[in-house]
Amino acid sequence: MDTRWRNTRNNRPLKVAAFILCCILAFSTFFFLIRIVHFSYQCRPEMNRGALFGNIEDSSFTNSSIFTRQLYNDLEMISDMANYYKNDEYVDSGAAFRPREQELVQQMKDQIKSDIRDAKIALLDEMSRHDEGTGRYYYPGYSQDESLIPENYSNEITVIKGAEYYNGVPLMSVVVDEDEITERVKKEYQGIINSERLDLTRRYRNTAEHISGIKNLSYIVINRNTGEIYTNFNGSVSKDANLLSMVDKDKWSLAVQNGKFSYGSPVYNNDGNQDYYDDYRKIDLDMYLSERFIGDNLDIFLMVNTDADTLVEGDGYYKAFNQYTKTYDHIKLFTSLFIASFVLCLAAFGFCCAMAGETDENGKVKLAKIDRVYTSIHFIISLSLFITGAVLVATFSKDIVQEFDGEISLWATSFTSAIGAAAAAVGTQWAMSVVRHVRNGTLLKHTLTNVLIVKNYERIKMVLSFEKAKHIRTKVVGIASVAVAVNLFLIMLLAVSVASGNGFFSTVFFGLIIIFDLAVIYMVKSSIKALDDLMEAIIQAQEGKFGVEISVSSMPLYLRDFAQRIVNLRDGMKIAVDEAVKGERMKTELITNVSHDLKTPLTSIISYVDLLKRCDLDDQTALSYIKVLEEKSGRLKKLIEDLVEASKASTGNVNMNITKVNLSELAVQLTGENEEELRAMGIDMRISVPQEAPIVLADSQKAFRAIENLMSNISKYAMPGTRVYVEVGRDNGYGFISIKNVSKDALDIPVEQLTQRFVRGDAARSSEGSGLGLSIAENLVTLQDGEFNIELDGDLFKATVKFKLDQELDL
């Protein structure tokens, strides 16, 4: 089972498809939902939850807002007709327009008055401004009653004794008389009045036409004041008739009196008033139907035919009925689709969640990239996006479903549904991420707060812990805290003193703060300086300088012990170093002295062997013994000399006199010195030098000694009849001389051992030589910052000596 789920979980295309499907289904869910709600609004003025889930059985045409809207529209037209337009004659004579005309003229007169007054004020302003240049105040109304000029000269209109004044000038005095205004109204506004009147006539014609086109409605309007009756009812209607009793219930299925509905056969209650159908619509219709007509003192009675069988074709009610029927059919389909979409969407969502997180063979969950976002952050972002989406969907849906004008906007619905789908996508991906984290066991561990705490655990622990410092006394921390507290306290006192305006205490506290802070700064600085001194002493000691003075007594108390320990440590170190240096020197001295003591007797041996040679000896055996003595004494001499040199070179007890040395010159000189000797042994020397001689930094004498040792090795160990190659060149900042020769004995020793003291190419040590040559050479070269390198390739022996190139010259 595990494998099957894993295969599905790791099937990325399938999961992507499921996710997209979920989004699409969310889209369709929202789409159908909006349409259902919209229908519910069309059917009823208020939301009926039953309609949302397809329960629209109690819905009927007369119940729907489609019908209500139509009825309201007609009612308004009929009441307008009964109240204002009345009939053609009334409109044509201008009587219908009169109230409106009077209202218009009054408005225009007021406008003209106000215009004239504004013009006057502007003029007065201009006049007073005119004389400001002279520096004198100019009051336009001074020639009038000066006592009326207010003391505080003002540009505002002042009312004095019921009359308006502006800068002391009575404004009313400048307003022209009524006749002139009427004249101006006629002149300037007659066009507007005429167009308004035409407009009224046009509206009357439209209304009359509409009313005459009504087929499924019968109306009776009685003006209770005048007794006028306006109706399309084909029967006689008297002023005091009981209208309800006149209803032919077969023909009219609904009657409305003054905005109050009754269905079928009206019911009378005890007090003789009609018992109105009591439902929620009454409140609405009461508000916008009945009150209005009562105010106009009209008695309006409507009879409506809403029966599908007898409905007459060709008017608003017929259309409304058809629209209602169509929508009603749609809603059944949409409800099924909505339910299907919703269920499938949930299924897709569930699948996405269940299959979230690819899994490897070990059942370990592979987190997606988005999962790197801390779960808490992810939750907050997803939630806010989701809520934003939900709010947008709710807002847009409300606008859409409350749109009463028939057809719903497909574009707006799609757009809103898309937002809903996006919100669903956000929610789904969050849920999937949660599932992945849960399966991985990291949901709570990966929250931002948790991660922050884990990452800074050590720091948090340190701040919170009460662990004592091992060496710095806790007092130091205490002193620092006290210093901060005292400072804050002093600042507080200063603030209080300043606030209470006490100059003396303010000065005192200010001074105290300065003195206290300077003391604290002094303490901090001396602490830091003491630490710095200690650091300097340690750094210098590490570089071999032990002379830096540490004055322990002037250290801060908490550092004294530490400083004393450092002094002790340093002194101990100095003694150790001195001892080591002394020991090394003594070793070299010992070797020098011993060799010196060896040399004196050796001198005698050499001399006497030579003298013995000169004696007249016939015994061949004796002569051969003398020869052995001579050889071995010579060997001993060489050994002693090399021993001293090797000991000095290996301890670095050699003074180096570094100068610029021409390696080509050195190589040529060496060749010149050794060539003849080697040739005598049948060894040919080949030398190759570069066009431009490498100039290196070396001690010329010591460099020669090193290379001479190599040369002497050649004379000892090179195979006669072979060639020796000396090459000079430069390599990566170094100049080098390499010497290659073929060894006469097999070199069966590791390269590293060759440069060790007393190691020779021949294990038997039969040949001459001390075994120190290469060791001395290596030490001497290394002491000059050079490199000494030996390579063995079968019997081929290659020694390379490198010295640093003189950069100055090379550049």
Output the six-digit token pair for 639: 């050994």
125 vs 787, which CB is nearer to another protein?
Answer: 787
223 vs 671, which CB is nearer to another protein?
Answer: 671
Site residue total, another protein (CB under 8 A): 44
Q: Which residues does 346 contact at the CB level (< 8 Å), separation at least 6?
A: none
Segment near another protein (CB under 8 A), from 142-150, 354-362, 472-480, 599-607? 599-607
* Angstrom distance (rounded) from CA 465 to CA 422: 49
Characterize 458-483 residue by residue with b for buried, 16 or more Cβ atoms within 10 angstroms of its Cβ, and e for exposed: eeeeeeeeeeeeeeeeeeeeeeeeeb
Q: H-helix or E-strand containing 261?
A: strand 260-263
* Angstrom distance (rounded) from CA 195 to CA 203: 12
User: Among residue numbers 646 through 685, which ones bind another protein (CB under 8 A)?
Assistant: 659-673, 675-676
- Selected from 303, 393, 698, 801, the binder of another protein by CB under 8 A is 698
450 vs 592, which CB is nearer to another protein?
Answer: 592
Minimum Å distance from CB 672 to another protein? 2
DSSP-derived 3-state class of residue 489: helix
- Selected from 426, 689, 718, 774, the binder of another protein by CB under 8 A is 689
- Selected from 32, 349, 704, 717, the binder of another protein by CB under 8 A is 704
- Selected from 412, 602, 759, 790, the binder of another protein by CB under 8 A is 602
Minimum Å distance from CB 754 to another protein? 24
In three state form, how does the secondary structure of 501-552 look?
A: CCHHHHHHHHHHHHHHHHHHHHHHHHHHHHHHHHHHHHHHHHCCCCCCCCCH
Segment near another protein (CB under 8 A), from 108-116, 296-304, 368-376, 695-703? 695-703
The contact mask relative to another protein for 566-595 (x = CB under 8 A, - = no) is: -----------------------------x
Minimum Å distance from CB 731 to another protein? 18
Residue 208 in contact with residue 78, Cβ under 8 Å? no
482 vs 590, which CB is nearer to another protein?
Answer: 590
Minimum Å distance from CB 666 to another protein? 4
Q: H-helix or E-strand containing 185?
A: helix 178-213
Residue 607 sits in the site that holds another protein (CB under 8 A): yes
Residue 646 in contact with residue 718, Cβ under 8 Å? no
* Angstrom distance (rounded) from CA 487 to CA 521: 12
584 vs 630, which CB is nearer to another protein?
Answer: 630
Burial class, 419, CB count within 10 angstroms (exposed 0-12 / middle 13-18 / buried 19+): buried
Minimum Å distance from CB 664 to another protein? 4
- Selected from 92, 579, 589, 610, the binder of another protein by CB under 8 A is 610
Q: Which residues does 722 contact at the CB level (< 8 Å), separation at least 6?
A: 683, 684, 741, 742
Output the six-digit token pair for 62: 């007369």
- Selected from 385, 606, 658, 759, the binder of another protein by CB under 8 A is 606
Q: Taking the C-alpha atoms of 580, 581, 585 and 587 in order, what is their torsion angle to the nearest 10 degrees?
A: 20
Minimum Å distance from CB 560 to another protein? 49
Segment near another protein (CB under 8 A), from 104-112, 267-275, 438-446, 688-696? 688-696
Output the six-digit token pair for 724: 């020796």
Residue 706 in contact with residue 803, Cβ under 8 Å? no
Burial class, 450, CB count within 10 angstroms (exposed 0-12 / middle 13-18 / buried 19+): middle
450 vs 700, which CB is nearer to another protein?
Answer: 700
Minimum Å distance from CB 533 to another protein? 41
User: Among residue numbers 192 through 221, which ones bind another protein (CB under 8 A)?
Assistant: none
Residue 113 in contact with residue 101, Cβ under 8 Å? no
Minimum Å distance from CB 616 to another protein? 14
In degrees, rounded to 5, the angle at the alpha carbon of residue 40 between the alpha carbons of residues 36 and 44 is 170
- Selected from 80, 641, 745, 768, the binder of another protein by CB under 8 A is 641
Give the residues across from 792 on adjacent strands.
Answer: 797
608 vs 625, which CB is nearer to another protein?
Answer: 608
Minimum Å distance from CB 689 to another protein? 6
- Selected from 53, 138, 489, 608, the binder of another protein by CB under 8 A is 608
| Residue 224 backbone phi and psi in degrees, to 5 | -70, -25
Minimum Å distance from CB 590 to another protein? 15
502 vs 604, which CB is nearer to another protein?
Answer: 604
Segment near another protein (CB under 8 A), from 86-94, 136-144, 534-542, 689-697? 689-697
Burial class, 761, CB count within 10 angstroms (exposed 0-12 / middle 13-18 / buried 19+): buried
227 vs 672, which CB is nearer to another protein?
Answer: 672
Query: Which residues form the interface with another protein (CB under 8 A)?
Result: 595-596, 599-608, 610-611, 633, 637, 641, 644, 659-673, 675-676, 687, 689, 691, 693, 698, 700-701, 703-704
